[in-house]
């Protein structure tokens, strides 16, 4: 909604109103919880050309949600520190972390996930 206000010119520079927006955001903290969730639908075709849909649901409780987007950086940092990855410099991070490795890193946290539609 706020980006729309910038696009139509009602707000010229978002940086100028950022402090006000942050203070306003904090007013709503009391209505929230320490729980969060993510739901993704993936549509495509399988290896035989048939339509396929996967559903991925992830739920984080007790304030563990911020670890979800941070975990790849944590895992890559550990790998670089232990020299488990020899590639350095600017490079795509494709195939540096497996999905199972990423999901198992949440073992001690109150994060659960479910994938449906997998054969």
Spatial distance between the Cα atoms of 110 and 63, rounded to a whole number of angstroms? 8
pLDDT digits (tens, 9 = 90+) for 22-77: 999 899 988 989 999 989 999 999 899 999 999 999 999 999 999 999 999 999 99
- The mean pLDDT value for 7-24 works out to 89
Give per-residue pLDDT as tens, 75-117. Answer: 999 999 999 988 878 888 788 999 899 989 998 899 998 999 8
Distance between CA atoms of residues 58 and 107, nearest Å:
13
Model confidence at 118: pLDDT above 80: no
Token pair for residue 89?
């410099």
pLDDT of residue 39: 92
Rounded-to-integer distance, Cα 68 and Cα 61, Å: 11
Output the pLDDT for position 1: 83
- Report which secondary-structure segment, H or E, holds 67: helix 67-81
Q: Phi and psi of 64, rounded to 5°?
A: -85, -5
pLDDT of 119 reads 67
Task: Outline where the chain has alpha helix (H).
Answer: 2-7, 14-27, 67-81, 99-104
């Amino acid at each position: 909604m706020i980006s729309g206000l910038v696009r139509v010119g009602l707000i010229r520079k978002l940086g100028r109103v950022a402090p006000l927006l942050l203070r306003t955001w904090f007013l709503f903290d009391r209505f929230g919880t320490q729980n969060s969730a993510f739901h993704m639908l993936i549509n495509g075709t399988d290896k035989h050309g048939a339509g396929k849909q996967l559903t991925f649901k992830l739920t984080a409780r007790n304030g563990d949600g911020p670890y979800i987007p941070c975990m790849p950086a944590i895992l890559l940092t550990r790998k670089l520190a232990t020299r488990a990855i020899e590639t350095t410099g600017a490079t795509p991070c494709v195939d540096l972390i497996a999905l199972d490795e990423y999901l198992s890193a949440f073992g001690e946290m109150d994060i659960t996930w479910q994938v449906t539609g997998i054969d």
